[in-house]
Chains A and B, each alone.
Chain A
Amino acid sequence: MTASLGRAIGAVVIGTSAGGVEALSVLLPALPATFRSPVFIVLHLPRERPSLLVDIFRPRCARPVREAEDKEPVEDGTVYFAAPDYHLLIEEGPRLALSVDEPVHFSRPSIDVLFESAADLFGPRLLGIILTGGSEDGARGLEAVHRAGGVTVVQQPDTAQVPLMTQSAIKRSPVDLVLPLEEIAALLRTLDSDPS
């Protein structure tokens, strides 16, 4: 059975590190061409190199995939990846905003930074998803999503390539749904038909 949220979602944030490319390969191609919410993703990467994420995912997605640029207006149904060595935040507008503030949990971009700023802006209309990863980054961020009344989803740890990130998130605050990847993909497909 597919889980359903039964409420309108205005934006989706996803955080992941080790094993993230494989996990996103299940989720992002599942987004239908009619998907309306913007999707913001932090995937930890080496800082010095340009990211290939857009090249990897663009041909496999029905929706546009871009690397985040400063003050870019957020477009519906677009997938934004945080750029290496910059935090990604969501500003009023909504617009994207970047920062080079200190790394958080040794990470820039940091999942916590993205999730906290998105929680400020979208509140209960935000869906936060934590996937496979070998860092504790994201746990505070998902807590912020929960506190702002948003929906929190974590990949089932025993299905994660590296479970630390999912376990840390589950330990830190109440999580609405703990699901294997295929069911998170199915959940995203239902968002499209949710009443807004």
Chain B
Amino acid sequence: MTDTDFAIELQLLLDAIYLKYHYDFRGYAVASLRRRLRVAMNRFGCATLSQLQDKVVHDGTTFPALLDLLTVPVSDMFRDPSYFRALRERVVPLLRTYPSLKVWVAGCSTGEEAYSLAILLAEEKLLARTLIYATDINAQTLQKAEAGVYEVERLPGFTENHRRSGARSSLSNYYTAAYGRAVVDKTLKRHIVFSDHSLATDTVFAEVQLVSCRNVLIYFNRALQDRAIGLFHDALCRKGFLGLGAKESLRFSSHADAFVDLVREDRIFQKKDEASG
């Protein structure tokens, strides 16, 4: 199979997925997509992407499994503790000035990031006035996120990250462990709405003070990154905050000028005050 063949077949497969299932992967970064699709070809016993396309279109069980392969990079609670520490120290004092808060966790996957933010806001006594929208394109993943059940083997890592984020309480206050699993506390879940939303095809649904979208945009090409950052910009209130992943930046985006660096090393940006230019 030549490279050109692969490129042609890739385009056809992504078109087929879009036409049949309305999931739009056409703006995804090609290098990671290729890698994931090679894994998928292996998994489904397909020698070419065309064979995979045949299965995706004609066998109803293939697409949900493929969707998981294409969408699920699992995160950790409090991944990159310095990000959460920076939120506490630099963003929380400003969030306190709002009577009610809305936060958008875009691309929430299995929920770790949304729960981390909920815990942080609970520790800062802000959760009671906060609603967190946690969105993802994968409905199955959203169900897992909503269930908030994690293997206990992951807890020591979560706990250590949480401690390094400047924790004001014990992580164990926020889950119940039994039978090898930890279930996130209901008091957190009450403040999180999990819902289906695509950064590729959907629009803004609420005004929010903080968007946290980490290690999601790395999977998008620049055009789709621009679309997503445009949505964040439109969703954010005046002087709202945007947190990205540790190696993501706005430098290569057409919206770069619409934000200022708030905490450069932790990739926290603030929307410019348009009134004052």
Which segment, of A4-12, A95-103, A171-179, faces chain B?
A95-103
Question: How many interface residues does chain B have, given as a range?
Answer: 20 to 34
Question: How many interface residues does chain A have, given as a range?
Answer: 20 to 34
Chain A contacts for B31, CB-based, 8 A: 89-92, 97, 117, 120-121
- B219-230 interface code vs A (CB 8 A; 1 in, 0 out): 101100100000
Chain A residue with minimal CB distance to B32?
Answer: A99
B217 within 8 A of A: yes
Q: Which residues between 87 and 106 of chain B lie within 8 Å of chain A, taking CB atoms?
A: none
Q: Which residues between 45 and 77 of chain A lie within 8 Å of chain B, taking CB atoms?
A: 67-73
Q: Which residues between 197 and 231 of chain B lie within 8 Å of chain A, taking CB atoms?
A: 215, 217-219, 221-222, 225
Chain B contacts for A120, CB-based, 8 A: 3, 31, 34
**Residue from the list B36, B73, B247 in contact with A69, Cβ < 8 A:** B247
Given that A70-B247, A100-B75 are contacting pairs, would A116 and B35 also be in contact in the complex, using a CB cutoff of 8 Å? yes
- Does the CB pair B247–A101 fall under 8 Å? no
B262 within 8 A of A: no
Tally of contacts, chain A with chain B, CB under 8 A: 68
- Does the CB pair B29–A97 fall under 8 Å? yes
Chain A contacts for B67, CB-based, 8 A: none
- Does the CB pair B247–A97 fall under 8 Å? no
**Residue from the list A72, A101, A121 in contact with B73, Cβ < 8 A:** A101
B248 within 8 A of A: yes
B155 within 8 A of A: no
- Does the CB pair B73–A83 fall under 8 Å? no
**Residue from the list A73, A90, A97, A116 in contact with B218, Cβ < 8 A:** A97
Q: Return A88 CB to nearest CB of chain B, in Å.
A: 9
B252 within 8 A of A: yes
Q: Return B223 CB to nearest CB of chain A, in Å.
A: 11
Chain B contacts for A35, CB-based, 8 A: none
Q: Return A73 CB to nearest CB of chain B, in Å.
A: 8
Given that A68-B247, A86-B247 are contacting pairs, would A97 and B32 also be in contact in the complex, using a CB cutoff of 8 Å? yes
Q: Which residues between 150 and 166 of chain B lie within 8 Å of chain A, taking CB atoms?
A: none
A123 within 8 A of B: yes
A113 within 8 A of B: yes
| Chain B contacts to A: CB under 8 angstroms | 3, 29-32, 34-36, 73, 75, 215, 217-219, 221-222, 225, 245-249, 251-252
| Chain A contacts to B: CB under 8 angstroms | 67-73, 83, 86, 89-92, 95, 97-102, 113, 116-117, 120-121, 123
Query: Can you give 20 contacting A-B residue pairs, CB < 8 Å?
Result: A69-B247, A69-B251, A70-B217, A70-B249, A71-B29, A71-B222, A71-B225, A71-B252, A73-B252, A83-B246, A86-B218, A91-B29, A91-B30, A91-B31, A95-B222, A98-B218, A98-B248, A100-B75, A101-B36, A117-B34
